[in-house]
Amino acid sequence: MRLCILLLLIPAAVSAAQSAPSASRNDVDRSFAAAESLMKAGKVADAAQAFEHITHLRPDFAEAYFALGVSYAQLGKPEEAAAALRSYLKLEPQSPDGHAVLGILLFDNRRIAEARPELEQAVRLDRLQSEAAKHLGRVYNLEGNAAKAVALLRPLVASG
């Protein structure tokens, strides 16, 4: 008898779960703005926690992953930062900023082989990515290809 009652409740529970309101876009946008304010106030750990929560509420919110990656980088958590930035790039694969930040993060953590394609993609997508280009020039120098580094950096130096 008890099993029958539980079985009768399953469709109602499934229906309630399907109709339960998820976080509205406005709620998530407000949460994101609050998390950005935390970052600006220097409360990076709190901001990271808020951005993490936002990515759970809205897994398609690319900017939350980017901000989460930046906050983890500032907290000295390069693995978590790289994972968040890779999640961002899955949603925004043509983002020069995403590739640049990930590439620089990887370079700064001596993961040169992983940094190179990210930096190259950032520069390919946006020639004005001067920080990405500078880091890519350093990668080329480390690889013993000074001529390639000079060719990459010459236009940046010329443009001032």
| Residue 157 banded pLDDT, cuts 50, 70, 90 | confident
What mean pLDDT do residues 123-151 have?
93
Give CA–CA dist 138/54, Å, rounded: 36
Q: What is the pLDDT of residues 2-52, one digit of tens each?
A: 323 222 333 333 332 333 345 688 889 999 999 999 999 999 999 999 999
Give CA–CA dist 75/84, Å, rounded: 13
Among candidate residues 159, 87, 111, the one with its CA nearest the CA of residue 133: 159
Q: Would you state the pLDDT for residue 111?
A: 97
* Predicted confidence (pLDDT) at residue 160 exceeds the cutoff of 80: no
Mean pLDDT (the chain) is 85
Q: Return the CATH number of 94-160, one of 3.40.50.300, 3.90.980.10, 1.10.10.60, 1.25.40.10.
A: 1.25.40.10
Contact assessment for residue 65 and residue 91, using Cβ atoms and an 8 Å cutoff: yes
Tell me which residue has tokens 């901000």. 67
Fold of 24-91: 1.25.40
Q: Would you state the pLDDT for residue 26?
A: 86
What mean pLDDT do residues 109-114 have?
96
Q: Please, where in the chain does CATH 1.25.40.10 lie?
A: 24-91, 94-160
Q: Would you state the pLDDT for residue 138?
A: 95
Three-class HEC string of the chain: CHHHHHHHHHHHHHHHHHHCCCCCHHHHHHHHHHHHHHHHCCCHHHHHHHHHHHHHHCCCCHHHHHHHHHHHHHCCCHHHHHHHHHHHHHHCCCCHHHHHHHHHHHHHCCCHHHHHHHHHHHHHHCCCCHHHHHHHHHHHHHCCCHHHHHHHHHHHHHHC
Residue 141 has, within 13 A of its CA and on its CB side, a CA count of 11
| Residue 135 banded pLDDT, cuts 50, 70, 90 | very high
Give CA separation, 131 vs 18, 49, 60, 63, 104, in Å: 46, 28, 28, 20, 8
Of the ranges 8-12, 58-62, 131-135, which one carries the lowest mean pLDDT score? 8-12
Q: Would you state the pLDDT for residue 158?
A: 67
